[in-house]
Structure 1
Amino acid sequence: MSEASVAELLAKVEATPWLAVDIAGRRFFPPQAPRFAVPERPWPAPVQRGLDLLGVRELYEHQVRAVDLIRAGSHVVVATPTASGKSLIYNLPVLEACHADRRTRALYLFPLKALAQDQRRALDSLAASIFPTPTSAIYDGDTTASQRLRIRKNPPNVLFTNPDMLHLGILPSHEKWSEFFANLKFVVVDEVHTYRGVMGSHMAWVFRRLIRLCRLYGANPTFVCSSATIANPEELASALTGLSMSAVLEGTAASPPKHMLLINGVDGAARKAIGLLQESMALGLRTIVYCKSRRMTELIALWAGERDGPEKDRICAYRAGFLPEERREIEARLSCGELLAVVSTSALELGIDIGGLDVCILVGYPGSIMASLQRSGRVGRGGREAATFLIGHEDALDQYFMHHPDEFFALKPEPAVINPDNPVIAGRHLQCAAAEASLYADDPLVGENPGLIAELVRDGQVLQSRDGLEFFSKVRQPHRGVALRGTGSTVVIMDMDSGERIGLVDGFRAVLETHPGAVYLHRGVTYVVVDLDLQTGMAKARRAKVSYYTRVRHEKSTEIVEVSASRPVFGAMVSLGRLKVTDQVTGYDRISTRGGRNLGTVPLDMEPLVFETRGVWIAIPESVRRSVEAEMAHFMGGIHALEHAAIGMMPLLVMTDRNDLGGISIPFHPQVGSAAVFIYDGLPGGCGLAEQAYAEYETLLERAMGVIRQCACENGCPACVHSPKCGSGNRPIAKGAALLVLEGVMTGAAPETYGEMPPAAGGHDAPRTPPAGLGNEAVGDARAQGAGLPEGFRFAVLDLETRRSAQEVGGWHRADLMGVSCVVVYDSASGDFRDYLQEDVPRLVGDLVEFDMVVGFNILKFDYAVLGGLSRFDFASLPTLDILGSIHETLGYRLSLDHLARETLGEAKSASGMQALAWWKQGRIADIIAYCRQDVAVTRDLFLYGLRHGHLIFRNKAEKTVRLPVDWRPKK
């Protein structure tokens, strides 16, 4: 396509009244000439031949600076613009090392499968001149079982994979990769800026697990990270890997001439985007359109394709949630030129080779300057003139830029934030690490997280060795319960009629996005969700032609669990800490697709979503509330509007999207003691966004004030204080009151004291004693403390033997028909054993009700079921501890009394249940009672051991002798 075509499109835009009138700003970026340099030492001849064959005569300065660092053994992060030759930076040193030593191995990690395929082709082209040629292979979800086996047995020099496969397929099976790990010299992490937020927090742990295993095999690989332009690439790469990084930040490659125009789409951004797309396609310009949501992606592709003409079949939607084969088909059609335009979410933001593009249309601000530059960088390759159009939505941040275009063009890329300390994420990866290779007390992962390890041991997720120095995972492979792109599992969206899988959604967000009645769009086809089952991870949907989309309604409340920091900001106090959020879905609105009219609200009855996260909140002084109400303004509407405006401005401070955040405004919060506005990370555990808001809260308030004050609306609109995701439908909202609140806060006197930490709400258990072996004092001698029981506490230990077997009565579910040969009860007050026969059951009932607790082994499901056939008394009403039930709840599987007695007490049972049944038929009651008494004594001793030590001992499936944590202390 000639350069005149882009110029023609720009001229047409300026000559089209409904586009030209809304041009808010424009910039021309002249072409940049390249700068070249020479490496410190020449490449080996075969490597140089590869460069010559590719037509690479010189390397850019930034490429040379980076490869010299890598060859010297430094860990490097390269953050330069799109199309600046970052792949050569890691390919050249890797191939050089492979040429020098055929045993060299490298791991290439890409966030998308398509990127791995592109990069493998590029590497193989460069490696073709080397003899013997270094081998490469892709190991991902599309690799067949036979191919995987061959790759593991004979690992290539360069292995291409993705985060999910590394986490789920390689690290858990590292023994099968021993040769690969022992010779691993390089780890290449491409598109490292994508590892931010929740996924970045997960990846920080994946990398720690990878490095730990490398060191177990004696390897110490060099990390090479490549990134888009962000504010903190060195900090991000270091936080992800835990390694010190050298950064190369200045791009010296050539760049083509580019135009960027800001067009205000406040009266219909989608309509303007469709018109601009159609004009671009009519000129034959290859165009990519980026949308902020899956729904808008589908709708624009659908509406733009409704126009008759030769271009109708040359446009397609592309987004996450498409099946892999669908995405690859679209990528291939784009690359070969069959498609002229694609409408995409951020899924095509990365460097997948889709051929040369001419025009980029951003429907709404992408949420960060980094993403804007990255997406704009997809066009103009090969030196061709290119154009990018940013069409402003009606929301606050977009409108802020439409009214401040100079500020948009002056903005610097934002920092990428992760939070490896998220306890939910860290705890799950510690379990994975323990499953890969048992952890020891002197392991850095244990030493850096003693409190979390102690909590995992208490909860039975990680098991301790008998001596307390080694830690094992409870299950063999906990990895599948860890979703890298969220904090929970994944829900599959299924077409009820065809049985086909049509999409995926993170389990945490499923309640909000795939509730019954939700409209789901997939490749232009409308589905309505019929059923959501979070237990099975399945949402069932059916095709339906509807003229509306859905927006969930929900009510939220928050409880302050812990305050980490507080400081005065202007005339108010701002705090940072841990919050417990309860999000109750109450229904959903049906919004007309054309026109946006609310067609009605449908109620829903669903379980609340309850999670802990990190948040920041401002306490609105009582004096501000009084002054606002004195003006006859709606105070609640004012703080609600302030909440929306502040969340809308958050992407100016940190690389995020408003959908990653939540907010709650409340006119009186009992823990704060006044009105408060909360902003919190929208996923469990938090991902560092709240910390950034806390540090820059003054700027956040100033931005919120600016966007509200400068908006021309009267009572509030999407351009200032309305939120597209408000659970109450933006009611109440009072723009004028928000200004009064902000003025009162920003002109008020600073608080004199920081105040005390708000009390956490009731119901939290007191901290339990941590397990031994973690640098904490072990549980004291239980005998000196009465086994940890309150003074005067009286417990019974019960066991019984039956007259008939399960086979004789028709199965275990008919335990009520088995009858009793004897019951033995130990009384802790007297130390006596009491014996009961079947006719004594009424007396047994009278005795049991006198105890503070009844202890047994499988007592709830078996002993009480047997006794229930002989008495109308509700035995389950007794305060009961079932040791077997407690073990099953922790481990997920059952252990026998005999096993626990041998491993914990060094004792063994004297007989078995089958032997006792035989004795009954022989009339040997005395032998049955003696055997039953021994079982009661063993059960009692296990109970007391658990009270004294906080654990029992058992041998797990891997034949390791480990501790089983228990907490049997009576609840107060």
Structure 2
Amino acid sequence: MSGVRDFVAAVMDSPVLGPDVVHHRLLPASEPSLAETARPLPQALRLLLSARGVASLYSHQAEAVDLARMGRHVVVATPTASGKSLTYTLPMFEEFLARPDSRALCLFPLKALAQDQLRTFGELAALLPSHERLRAASYDGDTPDHVRRKLRQDPPHVLLTNPEMLHLSLLPHHATWAALWASLSFVVVDEAHTYRGVMGSHMALVFRRLRRMCDYYGSSPTFVFCSATVGNPVELSEGLSGLCVSPVLASGAPTGSRHVLFVNPEASPATAAIRLLKECLERGLRTIVYAKSRRMTELIALWAAEKSGEFKGRISAYRAGFLPEERREIEGRMASGELLAVISTSALELGIDIGGLDVCILAGYPGTVMQTLQRGGRVGRKQQDSAVVLVAGEDNLDQYFMRHPEDFFARPPEAAVLNPYNPVIVARHLDCAAAELTLARGEPFLAEEPIAMEAERMAAAGELLVSADGRELHSKRKRPHREVDLRGAGASMPIIDLGPAGPGDDGQATPEEGAAKGRVIGQIDAHRAMREAHEGAVYLHRGRSYVVAKLDLRGKSVFARPARVGYYTRTRAEKDTEILAIHDQATALGCRVFLGRLRVTERITGYEKRRAGDNGLLTLVPLDMPPLVFETEGLWFEIPRAVQQATEDTRHHFMGGIHAMEHAAIGILPLLVMADRNDIGGISTPFHPQVGRAAVFIYDGHPGGVGLTRQAFSQAAELLRTTLTTVRDCACELGCPSCVHSPKCGSGNRPISKDAACFVLEALATATPETFQPLAPTEENMPPPSSNCEPREPRETATRPLPAYGVLDVETRRSAQEVGGWHRAARMGVAVAVLYDSRDQTFHAYTEERIPELAERLAGLGLVIGFNIKRFDYLVLSGAHDFDFAALPTLDMLDTVKARLGYRLSLGHLAEETLGVPKSADGLQSLQWWKEGRLDLITEYCTRDVQITRDLYLHGRERGHLLFRNKHGQVVQVPVDW
């Protein structure tokens, strides 16, 4: 009996583990399917394959190589260890042999993967004739500066990097990489299935920027996507790239027989995993244990270090947070056989080569069928017998598959979803693209309508600057890239370690103080920060706990102090949702389901402190925070009035029922789409004013939406049926985390009623659409679509009456230095004030003793216009007269410009670029004239400034913009709405 079969038999016969095994299935071995390429490979590559012991290619390898050689973009979606790397290595090497100047860019989601592939490239290149050696190099955050310079000056044939380096270095500094861009023949996207959700939405724009850069430098590379087995590989690849992609989906690689065991332990998943690991170690089986959290990883590793006896030195943990050299050492020891077992989080889910493994133990369902297959695919890579053991936790999906194991094997892998047109993310990448290369209206990058619409919205809002001729769009900043977090929807905020609190330290550090004395220990996007990094929140980093001392939303920083606490924190919140637009509607069982755009308002009211051991509530701390408002995509179920009435007539708690239904549906949604429940939000209400009845909302938990609920909408009936099965079949009596409780519920899972949820879902399942005819939201109770997703309306200047307005400027007698600073402007004295009055179209000049007359004239105007009028002119005038100048209806043009651009421009600069008129003098010259008694020259100069200010106002009012010259010397528009 083989070691694996002996292990399986021992588990089944064990008095402790055996009763917990709810399912055992043997997946039979399969034979290889071999094929030749349509055209023979060059002799050098045939010799290379022969030296590697490859007599013939698998069928999927040959097919993918043929497509790539034809210049067709291709996605290869086959199981782990099926030899996907040859599908891009062979056509790349053939291209290099034929055209030595060709280059390839290979993207890997993890640095460790790039390093692993670099070794593979080196081994393959060493088998080529010496005069045909190919160079490969990795480029990541660990690459020394002198090496980076060499790579830019003389790019290798193959550059291996990651998304962040592409986004932060290769694209913004493209001129220094010109040799790479101009000769790029292949772009390889490995582990493409990881680019989903928020990161997938970001990467869709990064790849579009990459293609734009290739167009600029005259290259047209072939894209090769490699993916795990997902439900929609072609749709995913095309969504990421915007290209037409050919699929290669049928694997020709052989497989060994595989045992699959489902274990539903009475004890904790960690305890059961330790017992299973012990059985493997005793039989010398090379094992990988996947834990769902760092905490469980450390717990199992702690047992390994203390109680594994003779195996103590042959077990290691492996997770994010380890230093690169630590990870490489573990990978090497595992590949050599020195290590017998490794305990990992998802860090080893991807294709890092750690040798042939025998057993995979999953301590908790990974969340998707795809991830389960991907992790299980790490064993049996040499076609030997292998085993995968799924140890269930208490989560909804874990328990669903324990009760319905046959559904796991019958269910296809989930679809990976992303939203390439998320407006929040599109806006950030448009800014980056414009900073890289000026955007031209009508260029291919703006050919997709949602991207073009967002560009126009940004231009109208002044977030992108329009050239003077209106044909080009410019970024306001030179390098906006570092403010874009590819793994989050909002701007990235640093989490700064302030160190232990000292005596009398209240923890209220300013951003400057924190940055000076602390170090950055992590990053969090602004959207998540309010939920996870509020004051008092517990933050975990590399096994250490920190307590947040301050969340500085204005300064975009989080300050935390290390602290050993025996509790964790969880926010309490209230939520409202507003329907902005309906995209689609359908019938699901006995109700209607809608897909649309929502505005979610979340008010975080406080946070719970709960004991780390038993989750017991210690206290509730109130918080006073601004509301978190964002727009997203979502679906919602209308609950027919008859179902609500029947629920209440049978004395069920209706609100508790639909609340439980919402939790259960969110927990089960990852069965349909590749998502984590933390990516999804929900709201249930017994009456929604726009819907006109009860409704359950489920939405993407990221601003703009990432496509999760859009994918789920088409499977809404299956979602309801599966939710009913999950709740009804759970063995608990009143509800538990396996069915209707949510670990992130803002109201602490109150009210919750499992019975009422079953009643509502069964009523919907047995109803017909004709029985309960709900109504769609009507035009009367639906608000207009929000402006940030719709095209901007054209300006209607002709219909807006021009108010009675005045334009004011003041010249002083004394300088700021003479009176002790600008804040003492009231002491500067009035040399002359000039007002243009539109009622008589005349310029009126006033000396200091006549300021009361000026005040009287100003009071009769509908609008007073000036340049820095609020912080200067009015303050100067207040020293001459006690009139409340600040109460006047005022347009400060400097304020408008600064609000649009984020920085100030001078009146003279705007006048010269917009009107072609220079200023006649300046304030220093005016002060000198006052000392010389030349009031006439001061009046002439001040009148000229008032005329310029008036003409700028009329220009901006008529055309909607002024012109200025940016830091790159380009004349661009600053939009104004006067």
Give the TM bin, normalised by the shorter chain: over 0.9
C-alpha change, 1:529 and 1:282, in structure 2 (3 Å) is: farther
How far 1:844 moved relative to its partner? 3.3
Q: Are 1:790 and 2:792 an aligned pair?
A: no
Amino acid at match of 1:671: Q
SS of the aligned residue for 2:65 comes to helix
Whole-Å Cα distance in 2 between the matches of residues 435 and 719 of structure 1?
49
Give the aligned partner of residue 127 of structure 1. Answer: 125
How far 1:617 moved relative to its partner? 0.7
How far 1:646 moved relative to its partner? 1.0
Instruction: Tell me, yes or no, if the aligned pair for 1:395 and 1:722 is still in contact at 8 Å.
Output: no
Q: Are 1:9 and 2:20 an aligned pair?
A: no
Amino acid at match of 1:655: M
Q: Are 1:160 and 2:182 an aligned pair?
A: no
Whole-Å Cα distance in 2 between the matches of residues 815 and 90 of structure 1?
70
Instruction: Tell me, yes or no, if the aligned pair for 1:39 and 1:64 is still in contact at 8 Å.
Output: yes
Whole-Å Cα distance in 1 between the matches of residues 298 and 840 of structure 2?
75
Whole-Å Cα distance in 1 between the matches of residues 218 and 704 of structure 2?
34
Unaligned runs of 5+ in 1: 771-775
Whole-Å Cα distance in 2 between the matches of residues 956 and 404 of structure 1?
64
C-alpha change, 1:471 and 1:858, in structure 2 (3 Å) is: same
My pick for the range that moved more, 663-672 or 753-762, is 753-762
Q: Are 1:707 and 2:735 an aligned pair?
A: no
Whole-Å Cα distance in 2 between the matches of residues 869 and 336 of structure 1?
84
**How do residues 252-263 of structure 1 correspond to structure 2 at under 5 angstroms?**
252-263=252-263
Q: Are 1:821 and 2:819 an aligned pair?
A: no
Alpha-carbon deviations, 1:262-313, whole Å to 9, x = none? 1114653233233333443455443322233444444444466454735456
Whole-Å Cα distance in 1 between the matches of residues 529 and 319 of structure 2?
18
Unaligned runs of 5+ in 2: 501-517
Q: Percent identity?
A: 55
Give the aligned partner of residue 907 of structure 1. Answer: 917
SS of the aligned residue for 1:656 comes to coil
Q: Are 1:85 and 2:91 an aligned pair?
A: no
C-alpha change, 1:283 and 1:757, in structure 2 (3 Å) is: farther
SS of the aligned residue for 2:595 comes to strand
How far 1:760 moved relative to its partner? 4.9
Give the aligned partner of residue 224 of structure 2. Answer: 224
Whole-Å Cα distance in 2 between the matches of residues 442 and 712 of structure 1?
60
How far 1:754 moved relative to its partner? 3.8
Whole-Å Cα distance in 2 between the matches of residues 328 and 832 of structure 1?
79
Q: Are 1:860 and 2:870 an aligned pair?
A: yes
Give the aligned partner of residue 458 of structure 2. Answer: 456
Alpha-carbon deviations, 1:559-592, whole Å to 9, x = none? 1122222233333222111111122222332333
Give the aligned partner of residue 756 of structure 1. Answer: 778
Whole-Å Cα distance in 2 between the matches of residues 825 and 769 of structure 1?
39
SS of the aligned residue for 1:256 comes to coil
Give the aligned partner of residue 660 of structure 1. Answer: 679
Give the aligned partner of residue 763 of structure 2. Answer: 744
Instruction: Tell me, yes or no, if the aligned pair for 1:299 and 1:524 is still in contact at 8 Å.
Output: no
Alpha-carbon deviations, 1:238-283, whole Å to 9, x = none? 1211111111111111222221111114653233233333443455
Amino acid at match of 1:932: C
Whole-Å Cα distance in 2 between the matches of residues 526 and 307 of structure 1?
26
SS of the aligned residue for 1:18 comes to coil
SS of the aligned residue for 1:508 comes to helix
Instruction: Tell me, yes or no, if the aligned pair for 1:803 and 1:920 is still in contact at 8 Å.
Output: yes
Alpha-carbon deviations, 1:680-724, whole Å to 9, x = none? 001000011111122111111111111111122222111211112
Whole-Å Cα distance in 1 between the matches of residues 18 and 189 of structure 2?
43
Which of 544, 553, 558 is the aligned partner of 2:577? 558
SS of the aligned residue for 2:717 comes to helix
Which of 729, 736, 753 is the aligned partner of 1:734? 753
C-alpha change, 1:118 and 1:873, in structure 2 (3 Å) is: farther
My pick for the range that moved more, 40-49 or 870-879, is 870-879
Q: Are 1:238 and 2:260 an aligned pair?
A: no
Instruction: Tell me, yes or no, if the aligned pair for 1:672 and 1:758 is still in contact at 8 Å.
Output: no
Give the aligned partner of residue 598 of structure 1. Answer: 617
Whole-Å Cα distance in 2 between the matches of residues 281 and 530 of structure 1?
45
Give the aligned partner of residue 635 of structure 2. Answer: 616
Alpha-carbon deviations, 1:340-378, whole Å to 9, x = none? 443333222111123333322222221211111001111
Which of 111, 114, 117 is the aligned partner of 1:116? 114
Whole-Å Cα distance in 2 between the matches of residues 122 and 758 of structure 1?
64
Whole-Å Cα distance in 2 between the matches of residues 452 and 29 of structure 1?
50
Instruction: Tell me, yes or no, if the aligned pair for 2:454 and 2:789 is still in contact at 8 Å.
Output: no
C-alpha change, 1:494 and 1:304, in structure 2 (3 Å) is: farther
SS of the aligned residue for 1:255 comes to coil
Give the aligned partner of residue 489 of structure 1. Answer: 491
Give the aligned partner of residue 810 of structure 1. Answer: 820
How far 1:874 moved relative to its partner? 4.6
C-alpha change, 1:754 and 1:539, in structure 2 (3 Å) is: closer
Give the aligned partner of residue 773 of structure 1. Answer: none
Whole-Å Cα distance in 1 between the matches of residues 278 and 853 of structure 2?
88
**How do residues 683-694 of structure 1 correspond to structure 2 at under 5 angstroms?**
683-694=702-713
Give the aligned partner of residue 932 of structure 1. Answer: 942
Q: Are 1:531 and 2:550 an aligned pair?
A: yes
Instruction: Tell me, yes or no, if the aligned pair for 1:769 and 1:779 is still in contact at 8 Å.
Output: no
Q: Are 1:95 and 2:93 an aligned pair?
A: yes
Amino acid at match of 2:81: A
Which of 449, 461, 468 is the aligned partner of 1:466? 468
Whole-Å Cα distance in 2 between the matches of residues 333 and 816 of structure 1?
76
Give the aligned partner of residue 887 of structure 1. Answer: 897
Whole-Å Cα distance in 2 between the matches of residues 232 and 518 of structure 1?
39
How far 1:331 moved relative to its partner? 4.0
C-alpha change, 1:591 and 1:54, in structure 2 (3 Å) is: same
How far 1:856 moved relative to its partner? 1.2
Alpha-carbon deviations, 1:849-870, whole Å to 9, x = none? 3333221111222223333444
Whole-Å Cα distance in 2 between the matches of residues 75 and 571 of structure 1?
44
My pick for the range that moved more, 267-276 or 614-623, is 267-276
Whole-Å Cα distance in 2 between the matches of residues 511 and 768 of structure 1?
28
C-alpha change, 1:874 and 1:133, in structure 2 (3 Å) is: farther
SS of the aligned residue for 1:17 comes to coil
Instruction: Tell me, yes or no, if the aligned pair for 1:295 and 1:521 is still in contact at 8 Å.
Output: no
C-alpha change, 1:813 and 1:288, in structure 2 (3 Å) is: farther
SS of the aligned residue for 2:90 comes to helix
Give the aligned partner of residue 248 of structure 2. Answer: 248
Amino acid at match of 1:508: H
Amino acid at match of 2:642: S
Whole-Å Cα distance in 1 between the matches of residues 256 and 791 of structure 2?
64
SS of the aligned residue for 1:512 comes to helix
Which of 641, 652, 669 is the aligned partner of 1:650? 669
Instruction: Tell me, yes or no, if the aligned pair for 1:493 and 1:540 is still in contact at 8 Å.
Output: yes
SS of the aligned residue for 2:16 comes to helix
Whole-Å Cα distance in 2 between the matches of residues 284 and 578 of structure 1?
55
Amino acid at match of 1:634: H
Alpha-carbon deviations, 1:727-748, whole Å to 9, x = none? 1111100111112222333334
**How do residues 325-344 of structure 1 correspond to structure 2 at under 5 angstroms?**
327-328=327-328, 330-332=330-332, 334-336=334-336, 339-344=339-344
Give the aligned partner of residue 641 of structure 1. Answer: 660
Amino acid at match of 1:719: S
SS of the aligned residue for 2:147 comes to helix
Give the aligned partner of residue 345 of structure 1. Answer: 345
Whole-Å Cα distance in 1 between the matches of residues 825 and 253 of structure 2?
79
Q: Are 1:958 and 2:968 an aligned pair?
A: yes
Give the aligned partner of residue 49 of structure 2. Answer: 51
Give the aligned partner of residue 840 of structure 1. Answer: 850
Instruction: Tell me, yes or no, if the aligned pair for 1:298 and 1:523 is still in contact at 8 Å.
Output: no
C-alpha change, 1:359 and 1:843, in structure 2 (3 Å) is: farther
Whole-Å Cα distance in 1 between the matches of residues 701 and 465 of structure 2?
31
Whole-Å Cα distance in 2 between the matches of residues 517 and 607 of structure 1?
16
Which of 918, 942, 956 is the aligned partner of 1:946? 956
Amino acid at match of 1:609: L
C-alpha change, 1:843 and 1:302, in structure 2 (3 Å) is: farther
How far 1:91 moved relative to its partner? 0.8
Give the aligned partner of residue 359 of structure 2. Answer: 359
Instruction: Tell me, yes or no, if the aligned pair for 1:6 and 1:385 is still in contact at 8 Å.
Output: yes
Instruction: Tell me, yes or no, if the aligned pair for 1:400 and 1:707 is still in contact at 8 Å.
Output: yes
**How do residues 139-178 of structure 1 correspond to structure 2 at under 5 angstroms?**
139-178=139-178
Alpha-carbon deviations, 1:501-538, whole Å to 9, x = none? 44443432222223333333444433333333344454
Alpha-carbon deviations, 1:463-510, whole Å to 9, x = none? 222221222222222222221111123333444328454444343222
